[in-house]
Amino acid sequence: MVSYEDLAVAIVGREHWRSAGEAAVYSPPGAPFSVRVQAVRQPDRRERYLAAIVVDERAERTRPCFTAVEAVRWAEGVRAAP
């Protein structure tokens, strides 16, 4: 089972992250985008989290991830909006 607690633990102590309801948002300083990570409520496949690059309040690209840690690391690796 996937829970928000797994995601909350994955962002503890990491810079530029904040909780947003049942999601976590990565907002690097000066970047024109943010990355929102949230648990998939009823996953059909093995991916349990979805990370989305958000520009001007619109998801530009998404990536399914197996774990909260994978999603957090992917988000931190995004360098520019698509």
- Mapping DSSP onto H, E and C, the string for 56-73 reads CCEEEEEEEECCHHHHHH
Is pLDDT larger for residue 74 or for residue 47? Answer: 74
Is pLDDT larger for residue 5 or for residue 26? Answer: 26
**Residue 74 in contact with residue 51, Cβ under 8 Å?**
yes
Helix (H, G, I), strand (E, B) or coil at 25: strand
Is pLDDT larger for residue 82 or for residue 12? Answer: 12
DSSP 42: S
Question: What is the rounded CA–CA span in Å between residue 79 and residue 8?
Answer: 23
Tell me, what amino acid is at 21? G
* pLDDT (tens digit per residue) in 57-73: 999 999 999 999 999 99
* pLDDT (tens digit per residue) in 17-61: 999 988 999 999 999 999 999 998 775 667 689 999 999 999 999
